[in-house]
Every structure is written in C-alpha cells, then in structure tokens.
Amino acid sequence: MKKKNLSVKKKIRNFYSKKLDDPRIKRIYLNFKKKLSGHIKNSFCVAVSGGADSMALSFLAKCYSFENDKKCYFFIVDHKLRKDSTFEANLVKKKLKLFQIYSNILTIKKKNKISKNIQSFARDNRYKLIINQSLDKKIDMILTAHHADDLIENFFIRLLRGSGLKGLISFGKTKSKLKFDDKVFILRPLLDINKKDLEYISKKTFNFNVNDPSNLNDKFLRVKIRKLISNLEDYGLTLNNFKLSLKNLNKSNSAIDYYVQKNIYDNSNYLKLTKTIILKDDFLKQPDEIVFRSFSEVIQKVGKRDTFARGAKVENLIKHLISSNNYSKKTLSGCIIQKLENSVIISPEKSNNKSKL
C-alpha cells in the first residue's frame, strides 16, 4: 500500500480515536459496544437516513468496525417522496466519504403517487431494500438508529391505536425480525440513548445532518405524539420512569407467554404428514388472552404467514368456535378451520371455495 494511503488511513483512525476521548461520547460508545456484543459475526450494515441520530450511529458503527475488525456496510435509502430526497441522499454519501465511510444509495421505486400512510410506505420499502441488500451480501444484522425518544413515541402511538400488551412492548426489543421467516435481524443498540445525546455526537464528530421537514408536519400522528410527550414531561414523564413501567409490562408479558406455550404444548397435536394441527377441547377453555395468542400462533404456523392474522378476525373466529356446534369450515390466513365435536382441526388451505372470515 502506498505511503499516502497509509497516512490517510492513520489520520482517519486518529480522528475516530480522538473523538472517543470526549467523556460523553465514550460513555455512549461503551453502551453501544455492549449492545452489539454477541450479535455481530463477520459483518453488519447500518441504515442511514442522514438525520442526526443516524449520523451518530454511523460514527459509532465505524468506531466498532475499526476496533473489532468487522466489515460494515452503510445503506442510504432515497425514498423519492420529497423533491430534495435524491440531492440529500447524495449529499449524505459525500459527507460520509470524507470520513472513510463508503455507502450505497438504494432507491425506492414507486409506481403511483402516495397520498395515504406515507411514512408507513417509506418505512416498509426502506426495510425491504436494505434486507434484500443484506441477503445478497450475506449480512444477518441491520443496525438502526431508533433511540429512547422513538421508544416512548411508539408506545403512545400503539396505545392510541388500541394495541394490547404485546403490541405496546414489542418495539422495546433490542433485536427482532420484521417478519416471521426473515433471515435478517434488526438490531436497535441505541434504545437506551436519548435524541439529545445523539445530536451531541453528530455535532461533535461529522458536524453534519439533514433535516426532514416531515418531522415538523402536524398532519403526521408521530409529530402530534411528540408534542404531547413534550407536554407530559412537565408532569413527571422521564425516560427512567417510562423504562420502569416498560420493564414491569415485560414481566407480565413473559408470564402470559409461558402459559401460551404451555397451552399449545398441552392442548394441541401437530400431524407432520398432513401439516395439520388438532386443538383439544381444553385449548379454548383458557383465559381469553392465552387463547387469543395461542390460536394466533397456531394459525401462523399452519398458514406459513409472515405476520399474525388481524386481531379482530382471530377474535371473531374464536367466538364462533366456542359458541357453534356445527361442522362448517372457515378460512383465515391460509388455513382451513373446522370444528368436529370437541376438537378443532386447522389445516393448510388448498382451495378458495370455503366460507371466509
């Protein structure tokens, strides 16, 4: 390698090393490194939006890759939902390159104009692109910049939408999959870090980030929730108090999950040859939440679906099975469900001529 290239590499490494001398940045990096422990094999990737939180994540990830000799890929998604999105994506790429972070821009191709659920569209397609790239490069871990403020916001958003216990706490997992059969995990190592700390890192390191105007647009529910939370802080809502409540909710959820698995184990039989599950009479006699979750898992397994069936449809089907003595067949999420005396038979759907829910 040429002396000039060696000099540049040394200079860049010194840049990252010196930034970690800042006590505030070092504290956050040590927490970040702990969260990655045991999860990174050979390589990983970072989802970069260009916001202050993702720029801070890029800095931390680059430090980790240097220290642990791990290959790290950086993906910027151009969602094409704003006229400046392509310019911003290229600007972020150029800025990162100055600090020896080489990134790829992935572009979302939309066929029609999106007028509803814009943020959901952008999020779903962003993950789809990054997951596909990860599979191509044999990466099984995607790092995202979700932080403590996001955790609280998502809790309130799901609360307003009527989510149950499992839905309220699901975002709080550091490591998860988007879909049941995904081979790539989402890792959120910054859930303990608040946005102000990430803004501090971004300013003290790259001193650059892009601002998404949608973060100030009141038409989005998340922006309204953000303002609500800001007001609640005056009445004692703190990150520590919230994390304590979340911890208690997680304990309750774990207890329910134990009995869900027990119900499936004790009161159902899986016939491997026909890929059919037979539910015993006692399966539907457990507490409502146990029955609901157990039944949802069984339906997902037999139907081989990425996600669980919609809650309202599952509840209606359970009510039908409990109250009905007839032998009519119903279909849900790729399954045929039929009650026969005191048992329920759930088998893979093969035709479309059954009564659907």
Q: How many CB atoms lie within 10 A of CB 328?
A: 11
Q: Are 101 and 57 in contact (CB under 8 A)?
A: no
Q: Are 325 and 356 in contact (CB under 8 A)?
A: no
Structure tokens at 239: 């990150």
Taking the C-alpha atoms of residue 252 and residue 324, their distance in angstroms, rounded to an integer, is 32
Q: Which amino acid is at 76?
A: I
Ordered DSSP codes for 88-156: HHHHHHHHHHTTT--EEEEE---SS---SSHHHHHHHHHHHHHHHHHHHTT--EEE---BHHHHHHHHH
Average pLDDT score over residue span 313-342: 88
Whole-model pTM: value is 0.81
Q: Angle at the Cα of 239 (from 198 to 159), degrees rounded to 5?
A: 110
Give residue-wise pLDDT tens across range 76-128.
999 888 888 899 999 999 999 999 999 999 998 865 565 566 667 778 888 99
> What pLDDT, on the 0 to 100 scale, is given for residue 44?
96
Structure tokens at 317: 């089907």
Parallel, antiparallel or unpaired: strands 276-279 and 343-348: antiparallel
Collapsing DSSP to helix, strand or coil, 344 comes out as: strand
Q: Does 1 have pLDDT greater than 70?
A: no
Give residue-wise pLDDT tens across range 297-326.
999 999 988 778 888 899 999 999 988 777
Parallel, antiparallel or unpaired: strands 141-143 and 175-176: unpaired
Any idea which residue has 């990860």 for tokens? 134
